[in-house]
Amino acid sequence: MLTTHRFRLYPSKKQEEKLLWTLDQCRQTYNTLLSELQEQKVIDKAQIQGLLPDMKICDPELNKVYSKTLQYECYRLFSNLRALSQSKKNKRKVGRLRFKGKGWFKTFTYNQSGFKLINIGKRCQTLHLSKIGKIPIRCHRNVKGKIKQITIKKEVSGKWFASIIEEKNEEIKKAQIKKVIGIDLGLTDFIFDSDGMKVPNPRHLKKHTEKLVRLQRKLSKKKIGSENRNKWRIRLARQYEKLVNTRDDFLHKASRYYVNNYDAIAMEDMPIINMVHNKYLSKSILDASWGKLRQMISYKAERAGKRFMPVNYRGTTQRCSNCCKVIKKDLSMRTHKCNYCGLITSRDHNSALEIKNLMLIEIGQELSESTLVEIEALPLTRQLPSMKQEAPCES
Ligand SMILES: [Zn+2]
């Protein structure tokens, strides 16, 4: 199992120069490989890979970069190419791969070798990178498994980070499914779950977001390319970093709560909300927070041997979680009141229950002589609406 850690690096002035220099050598290597790729009529990966030794002969300075780090740029190029053709297949409008200008290249990578994490006392560690040196690093978590890859990144705020991919060979025991929960994500309440618990949108997150919106507005008025604009850009990046830290802290706690207390967790795959009256930025921040929560619950659940299941969000607000009839509600209607079975509850609670139902059906189908059935009666069969339109379901 692979786990990624992100730790902050504290390079000296001299080391930072070296890091920046390495970053730029990688950028130039990427660009050279890309220009060769664009010359090719038929893509020949081996030929592109074979360019590196020649490039080193032409420019001996390249020997001061760890060789596998340069090779990684070739890998990066082809993985970008793959992503591009994938988007084309999905009929998205895409251009071609672009050359990376200064400032658009933020990471370089050590794969499999060329690095070592060294303990020099309690909570005091250095990261040795071949051809760069020993950089102080703050590891807030123990890394005991085998390190597969380290990516060095410079954030816009000026801080340096190392993303460490660790491989652990622990056997994970699958938890028996006894407690299940459905989670609805929303605007008024960040989380509303099928057990009726709600978690409002954290206020400090809102405060940070508002500050960010103000900074962004100010930045947009500064002259492009000016020193002043750059200052504001860094200020904005720092504010964003603060927001991300606060948000992630909140999301870690929330995801931990669900993984510790439940064996199977269902969430909608893509919440829809009316964002007309909201500023673009706060929408994207909220979107990102939802995505991140899903991601955190998913990997924490996997590590704990528990189930995480994204379910089709379509229809979850409109269907009655008790009798499956469609109860039309517009966005202003916060209560679910079913005329068929008499269920009255909040709109979000009904969604959460419905999300849980969808998971129960799926798990129930997987285990026919289900242990689950002993715990909860399976809900009525639902005919899921197609992606295009919401069809009413049969009871
Ligand atoms: Zn009903």
**Residues 161, 199 within the same domain:** no
Query: pLDDT for 10-36, tens place per residue?
Result: 999 999 999 999 999 999 999 999 999
Percent of the chain with pLDDT over 90: 45
**Residues 363, 243 within the same domain:** yes
Domain extent, residue 103, equals 2-167
Helix (H) or strand (E) holding 2: strand 2-9
Final residue belonging to a domain, choices 136, 167, 198:
167
Residues 6 or more apart whose CB falls under 8 angstroms from that of 306 comprise 175, 259, 262, 263, 264, 265
Residues 6 or more apart whose CB falls under 8 angstroms from that of 295 comprise none
Query: pLDDT for 253-296, tens place per residue?
Result: 999 999 999 999 999 876 555 444 445 666 677 777 888 899 99
**Residues 87, 195 within the same domain:** no
Does the residue 389 lie in any domain?
no
| Listed range (240-254, 257-271, 379-393) with the worst mean pLDDT | 379-393
Measured in angstroms, how far is the CA atom of residue 248 from the centroid of ligand 1? 37
**Residues 21, 117 within the same domain:** yes
Does the residue 209 lie in any domain?
yes
**Residues 109, 239 within the same domain:** no
Measured in angstroms, how far is the CA atom of residue 325 from the centroid of ligand 1? 6
Measured in angstroms, how far is the CA atom of residue 189 from the centroid of ligand 1? 23
For the record, the structure tokens of 263 come out as 């064996």
- Going by C-alpha positions, the residue among 202, 237, 233, 239 that lies closest to residue 218 is 233
The neighbouring-strand residues paired with 31 are: none
Does the residue 95 lie in any domain?
yes
Measured in angstroms, how far is the CA atom of residue 243 from the centroid of ligand 1? 41
Query: pLDDT for 303-326, tens place per residue?
Result: 899 999 998 878 888 899 999 899
**Residues 150, 228 within the same domain:** no
**Residues 216, 321 within the same domain:** yes
Measured in angstroms, how far is the CA atom of residue 200 from the centroid of ligand 1? 27
**Residues 315, 351 within the same domain:** yes
Measured in angstroms, how far is the CA atom of residue 394 from the centroid of ligand 1? 12
pTM for this one?
0.68
Number of folded domains in the chain? 2
Q: DSSP of 222-286, one letter per residue?
A: SPTT-HHHHHHHHHHHHHHHHHHHHHHHHHHHHHHHHHHH-SEEEEESS-----TTS-HHHHHHH
Contact between residue 267 and residue 185 where contact means Cβ atoms under 8 Å apart: yes
Measured in angstroms, how far is the CA atom of residue 390 from the centroid of ligand 1? 17
